[in-house]
């Protein structure tokens, strides 16, 4: 089939290149299934709806796969409407984090299939095989809602999780990394990238056993981690750096240091490379020690991101055991990072149940006093979303304003503005990471 995998046009409230990577991972996987596939991140490219309409009409696609996200609700609905008008016979599929969290809402859109569990690639490929078979009315698919003449058919079973050796790594030649670099240019936005340097995202792992109640990874990817081999990881980095002027690597994994022996092997492999690759990762405070931090630094690590969440004791009961006593542990990890020249980036959740504006301010101030970077985000109760929401209600779960200000007042006794001031009040921190990454073509050899 001739397929377009699409991230719709939209204005982002937050940007993480790793969240956009499924456009290109799904496209790469579908090619292994024999499909002719185009991949388009119309959001990052700031494309107009006219440009997308032209692409749909001229492409004559037999299937359009629309990647959904918490941040792009309006874009998914409108992209589906455009695709249906311009390609009335095409199969329209959506897949992404939001359809896994609130699958029922998508059945209100003009779609043919909604992937709701398992790996994105497996569900999307199954929907395309169903279409190629003539859309048989009696067939049901694991992890996929299918539209029938009489209504929607539920999945036959949970979706499939693919072993890591079956993942198709994205083709860097079609990913708009220059546009991503531009979105990271203003560090005050507290996006995940490093300003003024070209990032290569390497998706190395899926699944996480830590079990944070506010995290969507376990239900989406499973509690058992799946991970690429070190050899395949380094081969992908090496090949990508020869194809584009990348300057650092972002390892995309829920908990990068969960498998300590794998990390040690990766550090050994990277340290042996004739070219030095600066890199960053995200993990937990619990899964770090000084020996590992030192090895990571020697292998090129320049930033470690960790989920501090909060230092307020009243909120610790709602956190996994490995995330409690965060203040003491953060001080320890920050000391190791300072000693070994790594920037520590701390995720802090503002408005977490059991916390106060004063407690969130204390957490942020204490992190800054340790010389670390604060990356605040707003607590967002995604579990409260439901199928009957309006598009506007669903888009209010944007992590930058409260979806229900009255609930905040009722549960905390405080005004939402007190929390929002912490999130949007500004920060004069300047990341040292940019200066630690040579520009393309400079200082790359040992």
Full domain range(s) for residue 76: 2-153
Task: Answer whether residue 175 is part of any domain.
Answer: no
Judgement on whether residues 148 and 227 belong to the same structural domain of the protein? no
The answer to the question of residue 172 being in a domain is: no
Separation of alpha carbons 403 and 411, rounded Å: 14
Q: 374: helix, coil or strand?
A: strand
Q: What is the pLDDT of residue 211?
A: 66
Using DSSP's 3-state secondary structure scheme, residue 13 falls into coil
Residues 204 and 295 both lie in one domain:
yes
Per-residue pLDDT for 321 more than 80? Answer: no
Q: What is the CATH number of the domain that holds 130?
A: 3.40.50.2300
Neighbouring-strand partners of residue 50: none
DSSP 8-state class, residue 439:
P
Q: Please check whether residue 268 lies inside any domain of the structure.
A: yes
Does 332 map to a domain?
A: yes
For residue 68, what are the β-bridge partners? 96
For 425, phi then psi, to 5°, come to: -80, -5
Q: Is the pLDDT of residue 443 over 60?
A: no
Position 210 pLDDT exceeds 80? no
Task: Give the pLDDT score at 198.
Answer: 97
- Judgement on whether residues 195 and 141 belong to the same structural domain of the protein: no
The pLDDT, as a whole number, for residue 193 is 96
pLDDT digits (tens, 9 = 90+) for 102-139: 999 999 999 999 999 999 999 999 999 999 999 999 89
Q: Is residue 12 predicted with pLDDT exceeding 80?
A: yes
153, 171, 193 - which closes a domain: 153
Number of domains in the chain: 2
Calpha distance 404→147 (Å, rounded): 32
Per-residue pLDDT tens over the stretch 337-394: 999 999 999 999 999 888 999 999 999 999 999 999 999 999 998 889 999 999 999 9
Q: Is residue 441 part of a domain?
A: no
Contact 222, 276 (CB under 8 A): no
Residue 237 and residue 136 share a domain: no
Mean pLDDT computed over every residue of the chain: 93
């Amino acid at each position: 089939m001739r397929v377009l995998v699409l991230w719709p046009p939209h204005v982002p409230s937050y940007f993480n290149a790793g969240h956009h990577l499924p456009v290109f991972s799904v496209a790469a996987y579908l090619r292994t299934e024999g499909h002719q596939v185009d991949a388009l991140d119309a959001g990052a490219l700031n494309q107009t709806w006219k440009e997308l309409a032209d692409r749909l009409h001229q492409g004559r696609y037999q299937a359009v796969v629309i990647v959904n996200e918490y941040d792009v609700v309006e874009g998914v609905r409108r992209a589906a409407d455009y695709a249906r008008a311009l390609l009335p016979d095409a199969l329209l599929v959506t897949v992404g984090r939001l359809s896994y969290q609130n699958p029922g809402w998508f059945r209100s859109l003009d779609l043919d299939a909604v992937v709701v569990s398992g790996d994105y690639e497996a569900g999307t490929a199954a929907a395309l095989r169903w279409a190629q078979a003539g859309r048989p009315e009696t067939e049901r698919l694991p992890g996929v809602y299918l539209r029938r003449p009489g209504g929607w058919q539920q999945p036959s079973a949970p979706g499939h999780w693919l072993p890591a050796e079956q993942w198709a790594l994205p083709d860097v030649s079609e990913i708009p990394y220059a546009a991503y670099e531009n979105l990271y240019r203003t560090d005050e936005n507290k996006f995940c990238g490093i300003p003024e340097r070209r990032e290569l995202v390497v998706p190395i792992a899926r699944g996480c056993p830590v079990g944070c109640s506010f995290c969507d990874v376990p239900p989406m990817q499973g509690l058992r981690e799946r991970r690429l081999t070190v050899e395949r990881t380094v081969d992908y980095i090496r090949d990508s750096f020869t194809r584009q002027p990348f300057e650092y690597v972002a390892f995309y994994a829920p908990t990068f240091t969960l498998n300590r022996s794998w990390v040690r092997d990766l550090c050994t492999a990277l340290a042996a490379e004739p070219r030095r690759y600066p890199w960053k990762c995200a993990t937990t405070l619990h899964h770090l020690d000084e020996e590992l931090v030192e090895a990571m630094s020697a292998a090129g690590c320049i930033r470690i991101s960790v989920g501090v969440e909060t230092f307020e004791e009243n909120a610790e009961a709602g956190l996994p055991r490995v995330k409690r006593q965060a203040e003491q542990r953060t001080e320890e990890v920050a000391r190791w990072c300072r000693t070994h020249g790594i920037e520590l980036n701390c995720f802090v959740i503002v408005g977490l149940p059991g916390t106060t504006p004063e407690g969130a301010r204390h957490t942020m101030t204490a992190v800054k006093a340790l010389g670390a970077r604060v990356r605040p985000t707003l607590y967002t109760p995604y579990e409260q979303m439901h199928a009957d929401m309006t598009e506007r209600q669903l888009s209010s779960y944007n992590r930058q304003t409260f979806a229900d200000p009255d609930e905040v007042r009722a549960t905390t006794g405080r005004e939402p503005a007190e929390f929002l001031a912490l999130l949007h009040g500004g920060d004069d921190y300047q990341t040292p990471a940019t200066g630690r990454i040579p520009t393309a073509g400079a200082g790359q050899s040992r």
